[in-house]
Amino acid sequence: MAELVHKTIGDLLDETAGKFPTKEAVVYVEQNLRYTYREFQDVCNTVAKGLMSMGVKKGDHIAIWASNKPEWVITQYASAKIGAVLVTVNTSYQSQELEYLLKQSDSTTLLLMEEFKGVSYLDTFKEICPEVAEQPPGELTSSRFPKLKNIVFLGDYPHAGMYTWNHLLRAGTEISDEALQEIQQSLSPDEVINMQYTSGTTGFPKGVMLSHSNIINNAINVAECQRLTEADKICIPVPFFHCFGCVMGTLAAVATGATMVPLVTFDPLLVLKAVEQEKCTALYGVPTMFIAELNHPDFHQYDLSSLRTGIMAGSTCPTEVMKKVVHEMGASEITIAYGQTEASPVITQTRPDDSIERRVSTVGRALENVEVKIIDPTTGETVPNGVQGELCTRGYLVMKGYYKMKDQTVSAIDRDSWLHTGDLATMDDDGYIQITGRLKDMIIRGGENIYPREIEEFLYTHPKIFDVQIVGVPDAKFGEQVAAFIKVKEGEMLSAEEVKSYCSGKISRFKIPHYVEIVDEYPMTASGKIQKFKLKEYAVRELVK
């Protein structure tokens, strides 16, 4: 078993820049922006010193609210070099969510861009902190946000009470390299360096505290499962504010010397263009992204022959989509990864040598130095192979805890250091895991346990169905009923009767959807996860009589 790496993110970047100084580290196709590893290291050092000049200290919390702009990934490494904890903000947050995060995280600094998808981030922030306009940059005094001092606008034009990114760059030249080096050398790999807020589908979002060691080792493991080296180029259209972007993406690249090719925001056509132009060898995405790329009218006009590997993760991966990625995109070594933010994030992953069957029917096996077990959720006992239970994991990857939420931390991580994921799964004799649902998503109809994934996989075989999501809705007689939300392929028509008829005789009667709703879109998080709880709310409101 490989030894764990014990170093900080700043040291990791310096080491890679030393090995591959002239190799491209970051390429933004849309902006025609390119950094070699030496150039990237230099700009990260400058911004790190700029943060120091603003009074940011080791252990301070820095929130960043932006899409995958170059400033985001620079800030990720700049903050790590001075030991400031990067608090990643979901790009779809509105005023109440932003207010909660800034307060709960005790952030001293906020970096924000102008707007995203028609929502003005500047106006949103001014709505919850109007006093910013009356105070000099760096001297914010707000009763609502007592810890918040610095606001940095990621744009060229100055705004009242805010620094600009250019100010940060200029200020960074006034601090000595020795001062930065002294701080960087004082850091410990076991200190918290990254804080991400869980999506909060139940209760308030929780700040997941991750250390240098947590995420560096996970990034290295994830890279090894793809056989990434300095020869690879990773197209990253997934958001940086999520572990998929900033651990599996940017950190896996720096850990191997690979090139990052990020997209500022996801667009299927831009993904195809970026892969062709930069000859990307790896492509990341959640299933909905891959579906959008495969179904783009211009898909076949692009040369994707450089693709070899990548990761599909974030939600359950439909078998048919996986097969198309392998056969039509040519990513023959594409991997499936499974995990959660609390696990830094990847727990299991398929390997390049795994059969197609393994890669479409499982989420792989545990990463190196990671323990996995499946337990009976009621008794806590480990279940035999092939028997469904809750997946638990232990090892370097388990978070330090939820920020200022001891009770929730204790309920997630037991006394023996096992993280309880809340996911239902089975394990085969070779250690390969199949995710069968969420504990809270399981549908109990008339005493029968129904797992949405099983019905979804079956309905994907219907020639007219583009995508399907199954949820349970309350029922007076049976306790719960099955509801199917279906997206139909372009140009096709599908009725509820057709769907039920297709199921008849093929799956058990109690599993056949009672409600069938044809939809154009699903409610999504900014990271591309489908919000099943919103589908359930809709079903309760509109379908249940």
Min mean pLDDT across 204-208, 227-231, 445-449, 455-459 is at: 445-449
Helix (H, G, I), strand (E, B) or coil at 480: strand
450 pLDDT higher than 90: no
Domain residue spans of the chain: 9-22+34-207, 443-542
Question: Which distant-in-sequence residues (6+ apart) come within 8 Å of 384 by Cβ?
Answer: none
506 pLDDT higher than 90: no
Q: Any idea of the CA torsion for 360, 243, 530, 235, to the nearest 10 degrees?
A: -60
Min mean pLDDT across 90-104, 140-154, 195-209, 407-421 is at: 195-209
Q: What pLDDT score does 444 carry?
A: 76
- Comparing C-alpha atoms, which of 223, 220, 216, 221 is closest to residue 194? 216
Please give the sequence-ordered ranges of beta strands (E in DSSP) within 229-368, or none if there are none. 233-236, 259-262, 282-285, 309-312, 335-339, 346-349, 365-366
Q: For residue 258, what are the CA distances in angstroms to 173, 202, 222, 230, 279?
A: 28, 37, 13, 4, 13
Mean pLDDT of the chain: 93
Q: How far apart are CA 166 and CA 168, in angstroms?
A: 5
pLDDT tens digits, residue range 400-414?
999 999 999 999 999
Helix (H, G, I), strand (E, B) or coil at 382: strand
Q: Which CATH number fits domain 9-22+34-207: 1.10.1530.10, 3.40.50.12780, 3.20.20.140, 3.30.110.30?
A: 3.40.50.12780
Amino acid at 236: I
Q: How far apart are CA 232 and CA 255, in angstroms?
A: 12
Q: What pLDDT score does 96 carry?
A: 84
Tokens encoding 481: 């009923």
What's the rounded mean pLDDT across residues 198-208? 72
pLDDT tens digits, residue range 412-437?
999 999 999 999 999 999 999 998 87
Q: What pLDDT score does 101 carry?
A: 95
- Comparing C-alpha atoms, which of 272, 256, 261 is closest to residue 234? 261
- The proportion of the chain whose per-residue pLDDT surpasses 70, expressed as a percent, equals 98
Q: What pLDDT score does 440 carry?
A: 75
Q: What pLDDT score does 2 carry?
A: 82
Helix (H, G, I), strand (E, B) or coil at 220: helix
Q: What pLDDT score does 315 carry?
A: 67
Q: How far apart are CA 4 and CA 316, in angstroms?
A: 29
- Comparing C-alpha atoms, which of 370, 403, 374 is closest to residue 389? 374
183 pLDDT higher than 70: yes
Q: For residue 337, what are the CA distances in angstroms to 173, 281, 310, 316, 445?
A: 41, 17, 10, 10, 31
What's the rounded mean pLDDT across residues 207-214? 98
Beta bridge partners of 236: 262
Q: What pLDDT score does 203 carry?
A: 56
Q: What pLDDT score does 527 carry?
A: 66
55 pLDDT higher than 50: yes
Min mean pLDDT across 321-325, 380-384, 470-474, 524-528 is at: 524-528
pLDDT tens digits, residue range 108-146?
999 999 999 899 999 999 999 999 999 999 999 999 999
Q: What pLDDT score does 476 carry?
A: 76
Confidence of residue 201 (pLDDT cuts 50, 70, 90): very low
pLDDT tens digits, residue range 247-257?
999 999 999 99
Q: How far apart are CA 100 and CA 120, in angstroms?
A: 18
Domain 443-542 class, CATH top level: alpha beta
Question: Which distant-in-sequence residues (6+ apart) come within 8 Å of 146 by Cβ?
Answer: none
173 pLDDT higher than 60: yes
More confident residue, 385 or 445: 385
**HSE (side-chain half, CA atoms, 13 Å) at 411:** 6
Q: What pLDDT score does 202 carry?
A: 47
**Scanning the structure block, which residue is given the tokens 């990271």?**
527
Handedness of CA 168, 55, 246, 435 (dihedral sign): negative
Tokens encoding 102: 């800034």
Q: Does this chain's domain 9-22+34-207 share its CATH topology with 443-542?
A: no
Amino acid at 65: W
Q: What pLDDT score does 316 carry?
A: 64
**HSE (side-chain half, CA atoms, 13 Å) at 259:** 22
Q: For residue 397, what are the CA distances in angstroms to 194, 348, 372, 383?
A: 13, 11, 12, 23
Burial code of 165-189, b = ≥16 C-beta within 10 A, e = fewer?
Answer: bebbeebbeebeeeebeebbeebeb
Q: How far apart are CA 61 and CA 51, in angstroms?
A: 12
Q: What pLDDT score does 171 carry?
A: 97
